[in-house]
Chain A
Amino acid sequence: MNQPQVNPGGTVQKTQTMQEIFTTESGAVYQCDKRNRIFVDFAGSVTAYKIDAFLRLKKAVDSIDLSSMANNTDRCSDYELITLCGCDRMYVLSLPEVYNFKELLSGARFVLELNSMLHECLYAQVA
């Protein structure tokens, strides 16, 4: 089977149709061309997203105000809940984790955009 596999331990087993698009020390993002999904490996688990959901996830994470989290002394501001409508996965992240998640998703988003630009340049039929 040429499909991305997620091992019981939560790590992603790479296949021919699955490519790593961005990695940091805290996680990794993969693209599966067979299923047209983005796999996000973060906080100990791997979640598959459609591209639209991935973009919504990035938007949700970007909208978190890190400085207000840091400045607020309430216990409830120590963690941030990230949920997406239509997705089962919910993230409960501390401030450093949110920071790392932002970095990971931004990097992945950049690579997706870069890939899009390369496609446009390389496969354009008309100069």
Chain B
Amino acid sequence: MKDLLRLRTSLTEEIEKVLNEQIKMEADASAMYLAMSAWCDRNGFDFSAGYFKKQSDEEREHMLRLFKYVSDMGGRAVSPDVTGVQIEFESFRSVFEQALQQEIAVTQSFNRIADRCQKSKDYVTFTFLQWFLKEQIEEEYVARRALELFDVIGEEGTGQYEIDKRIPKITYEDTYEG
């Protein structure tokens, strides 16, 4: 008897499901960053608005990478519905706190997927995930450094203006010296 399940895809149903959940998570993150960009824009934080717009594009790119992988492997990639995106934020600082929380949640999610891949011996997907796991180091670093500016510079006086100006200059050096 033919193995019809594997004639379709080498992805197991479980892995296909978690990858589709991650596609949705990235789409949600992209929408959230875009909302943050809009909030910053209308509150006069011009540089931060640009920074969050860029982050939004990056999250969408991550989503598309995952989407392509599921499709390429013969799986069923699901274009996710994104609803109920937050519009208002309490403060300039809270926007960055939420951004860091989101990045940490994404890292944890990728860790869980990698764990599932190992348990189900899906080393192809496990290898594919390496790019994302590495990327999360940078994503978390940038989000954490941005939030730290609020303590380093302080929000008093022209503090918020200085923080906003510094945000797009944060870069991650992928060397042991950086």
Interface residues of A (CB under 8 A from B): 19, 21, 31, 33, 36, 38, 51-52, 55, 112-113, 115-116, 119
Specify which of A19, A31, A38, A119 is in contact with B6 (CB 8 Å cutoff).
Answer: A119
For residue B6, which residue of chain A has the nearest CB? A116
Report if B8 contacts A (CB, 8 A).
yes
B interface, how many residues as a size bin?
10 to 19
Give the Cβ gap from A51 to chain B, nearest Cβ, in Å: 5
A21, B4: Cα distance in complex, Å = 12
List, in ascending order, chain B residues with CB within 8 A of A38's CB. 4
- Residues in B lying within 8 Å of A, measured CB to CB: 1-8, 13, 76
Q: Which residue of A lies closest to B7 (CB)?
A: A36
DSSP majority for the A interface? helix
Please tell me if the beta carbons of A33 and B1 are within 8 angstroms of each other in the complex: yes
What distance in Å separates the Cβ of A110 from its nearest Cβ neighbour in chain B? 12
Report the Cα distance A34→B139, complex, angstroms.
50
| Cα distance A19–B1 in the bound complex, in angstroms | 8
- What distance in Å separates the Cβ of B77 from its nearest Cβ neighbour in chain A? 13
- Some 28 contacts from A to B, beta carbons below 8 A apart, are A19-B1, A21-B1, A31-B1, A31-B2, A31-B4, A33-B1, A33-B2, A36-B2, A36-B4, A38-B4, A51-B4, A51-B5, A51-B7, A51-B8, A52-B8, A52-B76, A55-B13, A112-B4, A112-B5, A113-B5, A115-B1, A115-B3, A115-B5, A116-B3, A116-B5, A116-B6, A119-B3, A119-B6
